[in-house]
A and B are shown apart, each in its own frame.
Chain A
């Protein structure tokens, strides 16, 4: 139980995927200009991360390890993730067109999102159990969404404020992310 709590706090705050591991920086800067798309992207990422964590864990531990084909994990993981995203897209389109309309545009972005592949690789590196991988997947998604939402809130206000000319656009976003990352470092005392 304590172990799972450490995983949750670790994935959301201490080792936040964006602000401390730098996984998924492109969508972080690309989608954080407004709050609404940030929420849509966040929900999609939580959903896909949870699914991807489960499926890649099963594939690695039930197929690759018994056949001692671990060296193929990079190819297998990226194919699983690409197929999974495609599958979710088709499924959503068929079952819930309204939801598809609001989340569909974010799904292609997720395939090449290093956060998802990073999650699968971290599951292997930490040799998590199935439950731990599931919890890690969900909390990593929540951590991603939290950082994205905080950033989009700041950037909406940045639009209205005067920024030195050279810093307009991306450079000031990096500086803001740096300050946020500093704040998140403060959480590092929470777990050993």
Chain B
């Protein structure tokens, strides 16, 4: 029962994108449409889940000094699997995600969870953590992509079916690169206001 805490932790309290500000590259690059967000989210959940499980299973055998290269190879193997499966069964999504599918390897959320959580906790807990973080990441991606798709195209589409359409003049800007940065900046400001906490740092800060 206690592992439910790990699960919900990743979705809200420790949301990888909006609280920890990790995994920015995929979050901004592929959030142009709901379909892309779901494709990227599903691939990330799979890799996060499997990498967490394997890292947790071998955590007692891994020598401390070479743990990072080992984690990276495990993650890269699952990313390869995910990318081959997507290429075979979902070619349109694979094509529109492009190089961002292989780039899941360097998503700091995944290596971060392997290092900070899975290498110290039991497999069951690690699976729950991976699922929670993955779903949290996907929900964040969905939120950004709904805003961008709605204002950028004037309609919301879900795998071909239109679920919402308006007559407002679409602002191309939101689909383009500046729109992603603008939406992310505004959302962070909103969350900063709600949490009464400043966002200062990302994962790669240099003092």
Contact = CB atoms under 8 A, between A and B. Distances in A.
B124 interface: no
B29 interface: yes
A29 B184 CA distance: 13
Interface string B79-98: 11001100000000000001
Find the residue from A31, A179, A181 having the highest chain B CB count within 10 A. A181
Interface of B: 21-22, 24-25, 28-29, 69, 72-73, 76-77, 79-80, 83-84, 98-99, 102-103, 105-108, 111, 173, 176-182, 184-186, 188-190, 192-193, 198-206
B207 to A, nearest CB: 9
A118 B99 contact: yes
Contacts of A22: 24-25, 28-29, 177, 180
A90 interface: no
Contacts of A117: 102-103, 105-106
B192 A171 contact: yes
A72 B73 CA distance: 11
Contacts of B77: 75
A174 to B, nearest CB: 3
B178 A74 contact: no
Interface residues of A, number: 51
Contact of A30 (B72, B180, B201): B201
Contact of B80 (A26, A71, A172, A179): A71
A72 B70 CA distance: 16
Interface string A30-59: 110000010001000000000000000000
Interface string A66-92: 000001111100110010000000000
Contacts of B111: 112
A179 B182 CA distance: 8
A175 B185 contact: yes
